[in-house]
Structure 1
Amino acid sequence: MGNRLNQQKDNRKTEITADALLSVIQGLIDESPDGDHLKHDLNLDCRLEHDLGLDSLARTELVARINKAFAILLPDEALLAETPRALMTLLTQAAGMPEVETTAAPKVLPTDRSMLPSAASTLMEVLAWHLDQQPERTHILHYGNDSEPDEMSYRDLWQGATRVATGLWERSVQPGDRVALMLPTGVSYFHSFFGVLLAGAVPVPIYPPTRPSQLEEHMRRHGRILQNAGVHILITFQEAHRVARLFRTQVPSLQHIVDWSELDKTAGTPPATIRNSQDIAFLQYSSGSTGDPKGVMLSHADLLANIRAMGKAVAVTPEDVFVSWLPLYHDMGLIGAWLGSLYFAMPLVIMSPLHFLAQPSRWLWAIHHHRGTLSGSPNFGYELCLGKIGEDEIAGLDLSSWRFAFNGAEPVSATTLRGFTRRYAPYGLNADALAPVYGLAEVAVGLAFPPPRRGPVIDRINRDRFMLNGEALTAAEDDPDPLSIVACGRPLPGYRVQVVDEADRPLPERNEGRLEFQGPSATRGYFNNPEATKGLYRDGWLDTGDRAYLADGDIYITGRIKEMIIRAGRNIYPYELEQLVGELPGIRKGCVAAFPSIDSANGSEQLVVVAESREKDPQRLEALRQAIRDKTIDLLGMPPDDLLLAPPHTVLKTSSGKLRRGAMRTLYEQGRLGRGQRPLPLQVMNLLLSGMAQRLRTILKGSASYLFALYAWIIFYTLVPLVWLSVVLLPRLPWRWRVIRKAIRILRGLTATPLRVEGLEHLPATDRPVILVANHASYLDTLALIDGIPRDFIYVAKQELAVKFYSRLFLQRLDTVFVERFDTLRSATATEEFARQLAAGRSLAIYPEGTFRAEPGLLPFHMGAFVTAAKSGATVLPVTLRGTRAILQSDSNFPHHGAVRIIISPPLEPQGDDWAEAVRLQTAAREEIARHCNEQSLRHQDHIQTD
């Protein structure tokens, strides 16, 4: 034995160290499609299967590589090792060595980022990292009604969120449920948002009603949002609780309306709920949503990718201080300010939007007192600081610490930038700190930032050429009327943009068109809105809905596509006109809206201008109308087609101050714009009556769904005993398959379930055994394959189905191959049984995902089918199933009516018999299925096996 050990040591080319072992493991995962992503997760304590995606066969390959690399023979227990540390222990024992020191820090955290949660894959993991590393560090300083801020540490946030999560679990919240937050800025919001996450649910932020006069409009708009999201619980606060009850009449799914204070009193610890990086972190609805709510689905991976990219572009460190008044129910305040501060461990100094609007100087003084380095606002916030702050309010103000002043979320005005610089330069403001940025909810929040300390870049272009044909030609020095457009930065690291014409052809620089983007945080679409989601994508690019041009690497936003007005062959954008009109004495600044409307008489597009004024004298009003016409003619060369001078609060805005031009256009075309609001009791009565009508429609629709489900189950359970007896009693296997196929077609016919099969020409000849691999989305998948593919397969099933007598006997009569998923040794040897079936001339049908879940997404593939194909030379046949998940989800016994589609792709032929060839087959099959299944392809860390 001693001679053998000495000989092993002599033959060993690689010294046994932790780094050497990790290098062998890295070499294996480098061959996987997720190899690059997994590099930063590799350390001695990561889990081989859950973190690195090494299934039983991959671990068999890993043990073989370790044996070869270190000239050693590991015991069979190595296949059961769950971490590299466990493998290291076995390795040193097999070599007869003392245990190697394995306490070295993971290789993954670069030294300059060591104080950040770089390996976190969810928001909960980010908070848990801070709780472990620096629990008492100040996270938030919140200005409420007191002059001094309230402080919140990471431990405070965690404990408050835990109380809320426990309260939600007591109210039967399930993972994936949507929970709405209608809360003001403050401790209630912070605790509730993370409490929902810890409970495994999905937050849906909305904002509370502000003015009683607009209660009905607010409730209708947000009721549609809650209905689209299928919200189960609404968390609110005492003052809004009574109003929130009105949502019950609008939202059938709403089960509980809970005061936050009730949840905050809950004791105990909620059950542990594991969510992964591809789960939805929260739904971001536009505050201007109307009849077609668009809830942007943002996963944890999306948020963290965007936060990391923004932090890199701005060079954020934990020494920065973020000061914000931005609302927490919108992306700029929620993600950019709060969650960005959370990730980068910088203090967040925050006040409510109302606290800022009531006295804008509070924002600037917060930057002064806390030496804020990062802060931002939409353009109107900077405007308020120009027009609403007196010199006496800012005596002694020092803004020299402010190094990055974001300006985004609405059109950035060159005039505002210049004015803000002039006004606050004497107070220490560095003009280079002003940073116009661009983003949208579909990318999480940020898409383009300028380099730090560059200062604003303003492009002067020829107005006529631009309005006539979209060419952004630099204006001559003596141009009397140039158009000034502000650069909104360059794409963040890892993101790409392009500008295309109406035919989706990329345009050269300085040519205006539709702006599209790609990037790691691009949304998977809009929640429960497939039509809107379909319109979001074009050939792998996402449509921003904005028009723009590119120049010298910068993006210049010119306007929203839907808000562009075409008059006399000229493209007119409303922003500049609104700003000019707002400067007129007697017009309320920031309360002017210009929008297009179709003339019902001739079908042409007309320009409508609505401006708020407190004037009541007829002569003064007429003078204002003429002044507006003159301004419009001077700017556009034509007067407005219709001009409305309206009382205050006529121009609709979002909670963050942006104009709601689309909603105003709708009201204008309905003849309702400018009408006085109905008395509050009438608004409430109207809401109640419309809610009752909606409930009645929902009940009728739900009744039809329940009847269909009952009908489908009656047919199914009528057929089941007949099929079971036939399969058990019939002597020949082909006869049994014939009975099953006939029963499935009867079930499908009686439930009117269409089945479309594409690619039958790709089926190999029946005398050639093949391995069919398909995505797994529902219990109906096997029924669909049996019905749709005219060939009998031996199906591979999980061992759990052999536990009960009736299912075991039925499946055994169909020669089903059972696979043990949780016994690593038995699972690794399943390929031997696969090879025996193929050698006998039988074809196999395997679901390489191994399981399925209710949430859409293509899970990682196990290697069994592909190792078998490589070693036996069998053809791999990729098959894609679509529609089965929508008919019957894994967590439901409620079938829905739907259609099924099967896509058979060209077969894949093995070109070798080693591990690398098995990986190639797996990658090719997964890419082919992912291309057709219309679901996001998840990585190894992005799923939890639950079936």
Structure 2
Amino acid sequence: MASDEQATLLLELVRGLTAEVHPHAVRRTVTLDSHFDDLGIGSLELAELLRRAQDAFGVALPPHLLANAETPRDLLQAVRRSHAPAGEGRSTVTPLATTVAGSSAPATASTLLDALDWHLGATPQRIHIRILDESGHPDDITYEALHREAAAVAAGLLDRDVMPGDTVAIMLPTSRAYFVTFAGVVLAGAVPVPIYPPARPSQLADHLRRHTGILANAGATLLVTVPEAVSLGRLLRSNLASLRDVVVPAALMGSATGGALPRPRSDDLALVQYTSGSTGQPKGVALTHDNLLANIRAMGQATAVSAADTFVSWLPLYHDMGLIGAWLGCLYFAVPLVAMAPQVFLTRPSRWLWAIHENRGTISAGPNFAYELCLSKIDDAEIVGLDLSSWRLAFNGAEPVSPATIERFTGRFAPYGLRHNTITPVYGLAESAVGLAFPPLGRGPLIDSVERDTFVRTGRADPADADDRDALRFVACGQPLPGHEIRVVDATGNELGDRHEGRIEFRGPSATAGYFHNPDATRSLFHDDWLDTGDLGYIADADVYVTGRVKDVIIRAGRNLHPTELEEAVGNLTGIRRGCVAVFSSPDPSGGAERLVVMAETRGSDDKTAAALRSEIMATTVDLLGVAPDDVVLAPPRTVPKTSSGKIRRAASREIYERGNIGARPRALWWELARVRLRGTVPSMRRARRAAAALAFAAYAWVVYVVLAALVLLQLPLVPRLRWRWSIACRTVRLLARLTGTSVSVHGLDQLPQGPAIVVANHPSWLDGLALATVVPPSFRFVAGEVLEHERLIGFVLERLGAVFVERYEREHGVADSDKVVALVREGRSLVVFPEGHLARAPGLRPFHMGAFVAAAQSGVPIVPVAIRGTREMLRPEHHFPRRGSVAIAVGEPIQPLGTDWTAAVGLQCAARDVILRLSGEPDVE
């Protein structure tokens, strides 16, 4: 087809779509450079346009056009670059291995890293993830490849001074880079914070505002994103004090840093999952490794998941269902994960079903709208030969489950092998990691019909007669996962009986300890030891039925009205944009009762059409709720705000309504970017001021150190007695601390024995020796590596201060030096030893050398564990930039040897290391 013919055909498609979605609007001239926003083509319309273009031109268009295309010309260029047939996205792929010998789940794992290590040892070459690209071609990742590439990312993070416990934001699409980066953050001991990638440029302003709040709350030190978003990230950085750098994944993988990495503990933070914000501002749910593994194991038990399964997912990896339910669950149970980008599914939903067919998928999941999209956007011609007989669990959750959708989806795809009991409605929330209630395995969906009038007036869910056409229908979302509990309570917190609507609360091992850096929201989350889900529902025969959100309920004339049913019904009216309706209550300006408002997006523009639509909406509202709305607002497209997962943000809709901002055109992109830059001016100035202050302090500290060190060096050769020299050095160190404003606090100093002992301490910085010199008695002598003896200045100072030098590398010499240490202790000397032996840039407590513990066992003296905190933050190894800080030294109880042999020495080492690990707060990298 000639280029001119392609352009003409494409413009006909655009004009046809515009006329179809808003037939009563004034006709606009459509050119190749017309903006889709100006033509009233939003994301749903653009997805439909992409599908039509693929069929018309016989090509497979890249799904990223859904986010990037702004004009028909962008679409035309993509058409000219694409030559593959659109088809169903099918390709020939190697079957996935779905069985492994022996157990496929690491039952003893206490962290995500333990689970990864278990599979790395058991089946390193087993395919863990298969990523399908826009054409359906696979990119396979084995457990070994994931660990290798993630370790490179972890090294890059440590090179950028990312410390254990730091939060790292990940703003990446579904890709190999996402999986590797997330695992790399965990390997580095940091905490991943997934956030959704940039939306279309026309939505950039809202994207910036929402992400600034998330990154500020998370205190993210680093943002990892795609190259195209680096400039966006720098705009965000100018508004955030904590954000030090914005990088792409490739920049993290060039590090040469190696060695041991921190090992998180089971109660360490593993993830901060930000809620979708459907009822307000997003909140960061803090989840530990214990929380995640408890939820994953409970879901696995409820669904009988095994390595024989295959999970197919298009779900976004920045949401709990896609991240935890799909990927991390698969990681634990050795279930191969077949992943595709959400845009692939949205532009051609049949690709999801074909991916299940080709990979013999047994498990998949999606919110209710995904199943609706398959019903409305898949033609029979697209699925000739489709076989869904392998699909045993089709989870439907994350938003209200529609009984009609379940019935229609089952009926439509039953001829293609879909079984009725495959559809599995579930209930969960981020505050419980992801899952909370699952139905009995193999039961299939259960729909409850209740009397409408009784329910809306009293909250009692009485079963309706079989012929009651006005009945409300709710879907059973299952029973609490093993180890978890669910209850329904009234407004005063009293538990209700079966079939009485109230607030749903839960507790269990998956429950979060609270929202990250948000104590107020955390307090409102807990009622004693129960967590408030914010959902309304009832329990019948042990099943949970979710009826709506607490904040969305509208009380009118003594009736509790739920907006979801009305929003769906209004969205089905001709002329109303489906999925773009918000129903909410708003205070009456005159002081009366709250008003019922229906806000619906429409393309119609003339008065006659608008009047007809308002009448239809009024009639629909009366039919469903028994009351008329106080106000019907017909709004232009993209007025009703949604979360990143597509949920209606009713609170935000109410705010737009009350401010009178309906129909207000968004500001130009350049203006929004200028505002962001302007808002970042003050934080940037503060950042610059802090950097200048830090530089000035570093220069001052070095000057003070050099002057005091010179004074000590002048005195050491002249003072004859070791005790006097030691006293001079200690006084000088205390003076250095005073002049630099460094406080040194000591706890447990009275636990140092009167007789000979060996003090062992962690070694995070060059400052450790100076810090200990201010607190240990003069009778203690430091043990240092022999390599320091040959350093001209350091060796001279240590020798004059009585240090004992030992060889750590040459084995024969090292054994002899160990005997020397034993002899000194038997003579009654007390020693200070850093058993880690050397400094490392990466945080963490490293393996201990045995010398000090062998000496203690053989000489019968106690080991005194000492933990040092704060020195790493003041002067990190390999850095020469001292910072302000404070030092805390904790002295543990002496540990007596239980013998003189090697076993006794090992016991001393393990006991001392456990104490130091606990007192120091350092991660374990043994």
TM range (shorter): 0.5 to 0.7
Aligned to 1:278: 263
The one-letter code of the counterpart of 1:779 is: W
Q: Does the 8 Å CA contact 1:440/1:446 hold for their aligned counterparts?
A: yes
Cα distance between partner residues in 2 of 1:456 and 1:331: 23
Alignment match of 2:673 (pick from 684, 687, 697): 684
Cα distance between partner residues in 2 of 1:567 and 1:921: 71
Alignment match of 1:217 (pick from 203, 206, 218): 206
1:749 corresponds to 2:738: yes
The one-letter code of the counterpart of 1:816 is: A
Aligned to 1:90: none
Aligned to 2:227: 236
Distance change >3 Å, CA 518–CA 386, structure 1 → 2: same
Greater shift in the superposed pair: 608-617 or 808-817: 608-617
Q: Does the 8 Å CA contact 1:459/1:487 hold for their aligned counterparts?
A: no
- Cα offset, 1:678, TM superposition: 1.1
Distance change >3 Å, CA 906–CA 346, structure 1 → 2: closer
Aligned to 1:453: 442
The one-letter code of the counterpart of 1:112 is: G
Cα distance between partner residues in 1 of 2:489 and 2:890: 33
- Cα offset, 1:831, TM superposition: 6.3
Alignment match of 1:111 (pick from 74, 77, 101): 101
Aligned to 2:388: 399
Aligned to 2:690: 701
- Cα offset, 1:888, TM superposition: 3.0
Alignment of 1:429-578 (within 5 A): 429-436=418-425, 452-456=441-445, 486-487=476-477, 491=481, 515=506, 518=509
Distance change >3 Å, CA 771–CA 567, structure 1 → 2: farther
Cα distance between partner residues in 2 of 1:568 and 1:736: 88
Alignment of 1:211-360 (within 5 A): 211-222=200-211, 228-231=219-222, 234-236=225-227, 273=258, 276=261, 278=263, 286=274, 288=276, 320-330=309-319, 332-333=321-322, 337=326, 349-360=338-349
Provide the secondary structure at the position in 1 that maps to 2:765: coil
Cα distance between partner residues in 1 of 2:596 and 2:806: 68
- Cα offset, 1:402, TM superposition: 0.7
- Cα offset, 1:377, TM superposition: 1.2
Aligned to 1:900: 887
Distance change >3 Å, CA 882–CA 536, structure 1 → 2: farther
Q: Does the 8 Å CA contact 2:639/2:662 hold for their aligned counterparts?
A: yes
Alignment match of 1:710 (pick from 699, 705, 709): 699
Provide the secondary structure at the position in 2 that maps to 1:229: coil
Q: Does the 8 Å CA contact 1:499/1:548 hold for their aligned counterparts?
A: no
Distance change >3 Å, CA 621–CA 842, structure 1 → 2: farther
Q: Does the 8 Å CA contact 1:356/1:362 hold for their aligned counterparts?
A: yes
Deviations 1:567-626 (A, max 9, x none): 999999987786687678876554455789999999x99999865455665645765776
The one-letter code of the counterpart of 1:730 is: V
Deviations 1:380-410 (A, max 9, x none): 3234335555677667654322112233445
Alignment of 1:581-592 (within 5 A): 588-592=577-581
Aligned to 2:81: none
Q: TM-score, normalised by structure 1?
A: 0.64
Provide the secondary structure at the position in 2 that maps to 1:901: strand
Cα distance between partner residues in 2 of 1:923 and 1:609: 67
Provide the secondary structure at the position in 2 that maps to 1:327: coil
Cα distance between partner residues in 1 of 2:840 and 2:654: 43
- Cα offset, 1:804, TM superposition: 1.2
The one-letter code of the counterpart of 1:714 is: V
1:379 corresponds to 2:368: yes
Cα distance between partner residues in 2 of 1:848 and 1:833: 16
Cα distance between partner residues in 2 of 1:399 and 1:832: 72
The one-letter code of the counterpart of 2:137 is: D
Alignment of 1:420-431 (within 5 A): 420-421=409-410, 424-425=413-414, 427-431=416-420
Deviations 1:747-777 (A, max 9, x none): 33333334444445xx247624444444443
Over aligned residues, Cα RMSD in angstroms?
6.6
Aligned to 2:132: 142
Provide the secondary structure at the position in 2 that maps to 1:112: coil
Cα distance between partner residues in 2 of 1:442 and 1:807: 54
Alignment match of 2:639 (pick from 650, 658, 675): 650
Deviations 1:226-280 (A, max 9, x none): 785344764335xx7887776676679687877x9xx79x9x9985856747389
The one-letter code of the counterpart of 1:723 is: V
Cα distance between partner residues in 2 of 1:764 and 1:484: 65
Cα distance between partner residues in 2 of 1:273 and 1:500: 52
Aligned to 1:53: none
Aligned to 2:764: 777
- Cα offset, 1:373, TM superposition: 1.7
Q: Does the 8 Å CA contact 2:752/2:894 hold for their aligned counterparts?
A: no
1:811 corresponds to 2:802: no
Cα distance between partner residues in 2 of 1:549 and 1:743: 69
Provide the secondary structure at the position in 2 that maps to 1:703: helix
Cα distance between partner residues in 2 of 1:727 and 1:699: 42
Q: Does the 8 Å CA contact 1:488/1:557 hold for their aligned counterparts?
A: no
Cα distance between partner residues in 1 of 2:918 and 2:310: 44
The one-letter code of the counterpart of 1:808 is: G
Distance change >3 Å, CA 744–CA 622, structure 1 → 2: farther
Alignment match of 1:889 (pick from 851, 871, 876): 876
Cα distance between partner residues in 1 of 2:441 and 2:656: 43
The one-letter code of the counterpart of 2:206 is: E
The one-letter code of the counterpart of 2:263 is: Q
Where does structure 1 lack aligned partners over 5 or more consecutive residues? 1-108
Cα distance between partner residues in 2 of 1:639 and 1:827: 89
Q: TM-score, normalised by structure 2?
A: 0.65
Aligned to 1:738: 727
Greater shift in the superposed pair: 649-658 or 451-460: 451-460
Q: Does the 8 Å CA contact 2:191/2:272 hold for their aligned counterparts?
A: no
Provide the secondary structure at the position in 1 that maps to 2:102: helix
Q: Does the 8 Å CA contact 1:181/1:236 hold for their aligned counterparts?
A: no
The one-letter code of the counterpart of 2:637 is: P
Cα distance between partner residues in 1 of 2:720 and 2:745: 32
Cα distance between partner residues in 2 of 1:593 and 1:580: 11
Cα distance between partner residues in 1 of 2:549 and 2:292: 24
- Cα offset, 1:359, TM superposition: 3.9
Cα distance between partner residues in 2 of 1:304 and 1:932: 26
The one-letter code of the counterpart of 1:743 is: T
Cα distance between partner residues in 1 of 2:549 and 2:782: 53
Identity of aligned residues (%): 42
Deviations 1:332-362 (A, max 9, x none): 4456556766887776554432332234344
Q: How many residues align?
A: 806
Q: Does the 8 Å CA contact 1:651/1:664 hold for their aligned counterparts?
A: yes
Deviations 1:782-825 (A, max 9, x none): 44444456786433444443341322232233333445444566
The one-letter code of the counterpart of 1:278 is: R
The one-letter code of the counterpart of 2:274 is: S
Q: Does the 8 Å CA contact 2:727/2:778 hold for their aligned counterparts?
A: no
Q: Does the 8 Å CA contact 1:214/1:677 hold for their aligned counterparts?
A: no
Q: Does the 8 Å CA contact 1:515/1:543 hold for their aligned counterparts?
A: yes
